[in-house]
Amino acid sequence: MEEKTNVARILDKLKIEYKYHSYINSGAISGLEVAKFLGEDENSVFKTLVTVAKSKKNYVFMLPVNKELDLKKAALAVHEKSVEMIKQKDLLPQTGYIHGGCSPIGMKKQFETVIDESAKNFETIIFSAGKIGYQIELCPIKLSEIINGKFFDISK
């Protein structure tokens, strides 16, 4: 039996169906390596990025592992003048997650979350289960309902 992450426990509690993927001992570090190891389309494997705005508010953005976050589009999506990536040392205290294992589900505080609109091209997307080595596969619409997220074009 694989180790259950908090994200999996939250989804179980909500009675939401999902697939659990593990890449433990795969040597995969980057999102692209994870997608390749899992044999999945890199457009359907998403990374979770945490930002901080000029207003000091944090925002979460999810986008395919083969894309980059467009900071101008991201700021537009959340009605801020500008956003920048959170400092790595601030990630764990703010979210409860470490770099490489950050999930949009189960953060210490639910921040406003934007999912790249390309997610709607897939029945399911894959994203971190909240711990390095584990991924969750879930319908993007279902995900947006759980985290009260919205879809917007945020990639470049």
**pLDDT tens per residue, range 17-61:** 999 999 988 888 899 999 999 999 999 999 999 999 999 999 999
**What's the N-to-C CA distance of the chain in angstroms?**
39
In a domain, 1, yes or no: no
In a domain, 66, yes or no: yes
User: pLDDT tens digits, residue range 59-97?
Assistant: 999 999 999 999 999 999 999 999 999 999 999 999 999
In a domain, 53, yes or no: yes
Tokens of 147: 């985290």
Instruction: Give the residue ranges of DSSP H helices in 14-122.
Output: 31-38, 71-77, 88-95
Q: Is the pTM of this model over 0.75?
A: yes
In a domain, 100, yes or no: yes
Number of domains within the chain? 1
Alpha-carbon dihedral angle through residues 67, 71, 72, 75, given to the nearest 10 degrees: 120
The CATH number of the domain holding residue 63 is 3.90.960.10
In a domain, 33, yes or no: yes
In a domain, 77, yes or no: yes
Range of the domain at 64: 6-152
